[in-house]
């Protein structure tokens, strides 16, 4: 295992050999040097070895691609950050909001203002995951949250969204996930093209990301596992949902990519190649007010906030992290972040993150030690 990453690669090999997952791929950029490493196999049968360019279902790491795509439309003035999204989607122009977050769905008031592009990018449009046992949470659990992309066409999804009240007034509170799906519908309408076409035209082709897009049905993915009663078993519903071209091209969690592609993408963002510097700075800076941030704290604790479709570290955080880091993780076992000095780490597995015992310390702790040693 030559190269600067050798100590990290050794630790990752030990993780795979322990049986934690059948295989993984990781990539780093440290002091301007880039390396990619693959170990293990596509499943526990060990018939096919993992390769550096193995395609992965990246779940919520799709969100960073979505942020960059949206901001590319802002850069060429196809969209404005403060633009009312009902210009593209008139059905979003007459919204109602729950009278209180725990009210029955029938008790609502008019929205005080429109949903804007900024609200969607910052997850403050008023819709998303409600972690409390409320009528809204019960009614939206299968629609607004889950590892699989929506099993609807964009038109069907929009109809279901607009049939419900918002949980909060636009701009009031951060709520996870659903804004990225709604943003997918807005971008396609604004540019008069599918999300997949936009990604190819604006992100994948210009920056050489040949393994990035939406599932085609031709990919050979690693098997995806979830822990059930202390044992790993294949997550068949997630596997099947990502095995064919999607009805809904979701920037919330529906994309496919490779570690070399994702590393190249984050490097291009960090180096202000993918986006103009001012928009990249906004994307990777804290965009939440204190009241909005209460929702983020509920999910991720007091040391993280949110930019445009990416988390931003604002406090001390874990010992391997630094204030100013930005990036995110995906529930199917993917994680990526950029340090303030431009160092980057990416790791893709296909072990679902099912609880506190499933975290990414196995990667970030030795990566931090590697950075300190160089």
Dump the DSSP string for 10-60.
HHHHHHHHTTS-SEEEEEEEETTEEEEEEEEBSSTT--SB--TT--EE-GG
Strand, helix or coil for residue 79:
coil
DSSP single-letter state for residue 222: P
Residue 146 has pLDDT above 90, yes or no: no
State how far the Cα of 193 lies from the Cα of 129, in Å rounded to an integer. Answer: 28
Across the range 229-242, mean pLDDT stands at: 92
pLDDT above 60: residue 202: yes
Question: Quick one: pLDDT at residue 117?
Answer: 98
Which pLDDT score, from 0 to 100, does residue 357 have?
65
First to last CA, the chain: 17
Residue 355, pLDDT above cutoff 80: no
pLDDT digits (tens, 9 = 90+) for 280-315: 999 999 999 999 999 999 999 999 999 999 999 999
Say what the pLDDT of residue 190 is. 97
Q: DSSP string covering 191-206, please?
A: HTS-HHHHHIIIIITT
**Residue ranges of domains in the chain:** 56-314+322-336
Crossing angle, helix 259-270 and helix 62-75, to 10 degrees? 40
Averaged confidence pLDDT in the chain: 95
pLDDT band at 354 (very low <50, low <70, confident <90, very high): confident
For residues 254-278, average pLDDT: 98
Contacts of 201 (CB under 8 A, 6+ apart): 193
Surface-to-core class of residue 235, CB atoms within 10 Å of its CB (0-12 exposed, 13-18 middle, 19+ buried): buried
Given a cut of 80, whether residue 356 has pLDDT beyond it is no
Residues 6 or more apart in contact with residue 290 via CB below 8 angstroms: none
> Who has greater pLDDT, 359 or 30?
30
The sign of the torsion formed by the CA atoms of 265, 269, 272, 277 equals positive
Is a pLDDT exceeding 60 seen at residue 1?
no
- pLDDT score, position 358: 77
Confidence of residue 253 (pLDDT cuts 50, 70, 90): very high
- pLDDT at residue 84, as a whole number: 98
Q: What is the model's pLDDT at position 143?
A: 84
Question: Under the phi-then-psi rule, with left for phi > 0, alpha for psi from -120 to 50, and beta for the rest, what region is 121?
Answer: alpha
Give percent above pLDDT 70 in the chain: 99
pLDDT (0 to 100) of residue 243: 95
Query: Over 70: is that where the pLDDT of 176 sits?
Result: yes
DSSP state letter for 163: T
Q: Look up the CATH number of domain 56-314+322-336.
A: 3.40.710.10
pLDDT score for 2? 67
Note the pLDDT of residue 144. Answer: 82
Over residues 13-34, mean pLDDT:
97
- Helix ranges (H only) for the chain are 6-17, 62-75, 117-122, 135-144, 154-162, 178-191, 195-199, 236-241, 259-270, 277-283, 290-300, 361-373
Higher-confidence residue of 136 and 146: namely 136
Which residues on adjacent β-strands are paired with residue 196? Answer: none
Predicted TM-score (pTM) of the model is 0.97
pLDDT digits (tens, 9 = 90+) for 36-67: 999 999 999 988 999 999 999 999 999 999 99
């Amino acid at each position: 295992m030559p190269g600067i990453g050798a100590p990290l690669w050794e630790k990752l090999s030990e993780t795979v050999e322990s049986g934690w997952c059948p295989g993984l791929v990781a990539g780093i950029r440290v002091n301007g040097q880039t390396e990619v490493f693959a170990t293990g196999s596509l499943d526990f049968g060990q018939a096919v070895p993992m390769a550096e360019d193995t395609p992965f279902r990246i779940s919520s790491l799709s969100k960073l691609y979505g942020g960059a795509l949206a901001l590319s439309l802002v850069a060429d003035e196809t969209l404005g950050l403060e633009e009312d999204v009902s210009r593209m989607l008139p059905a979003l122009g007459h919204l109602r909001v729950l009278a209180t977050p725990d009210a029955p769905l029938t008790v609502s008031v008019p929205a005080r203002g429109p949903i804007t592009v900024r609200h969607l990018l910052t997850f403050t449009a008023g819709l998303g995951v409600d972690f409390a046992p409320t009528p809204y949470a019960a009614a939206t659990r299968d629609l607004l949250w889950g590892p699989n992309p929506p099993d609807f066409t964009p038109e069907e999804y929009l109809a279901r969204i607009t049939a419900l009240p918002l949980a909060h007034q636009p701009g009031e509170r951060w709520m996870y996930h659903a804004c990225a799906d709604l943003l997918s519908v807005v971008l396609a309408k604004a540019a008069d093209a599918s999300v997949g076409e936009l990604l190819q035209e604006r992100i994948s082709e210009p920056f050489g990301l040949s393994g990035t897009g939406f599932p085609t049905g031709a990919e050979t993915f690693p098997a995806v596992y979830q822990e059930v009663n202390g044992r790993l078993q294949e997550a068949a519903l997630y596997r099947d949902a990502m095995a064919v071209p999607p009805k809904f091209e979701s920037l919330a969690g529906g994309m496919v990519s490779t570690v070399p592609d994702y590393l190249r993408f984050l490097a291009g963002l960090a180096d202000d190649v993918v986006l103009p510097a001012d928009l990249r700075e906004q994307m990777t800076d804290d965009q939440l007010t204190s009241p909005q941030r209460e929702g983020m704290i509920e999910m991720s604790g007091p040391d993280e906030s949110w930019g445009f479709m990416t988390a931003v570290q604002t406090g001390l955080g874990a010992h391997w992290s630094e204030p100013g880091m930005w990036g995110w993780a995906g529930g199917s076992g993917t994680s990526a972040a950029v340090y303030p000095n431009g160092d980057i780490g990416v790791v893709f597995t296909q072990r679902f993150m099912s609880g506190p015992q499933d975290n990414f310390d196995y990667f970030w702790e030795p990566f931090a030690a590697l950075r300190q040693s160089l």
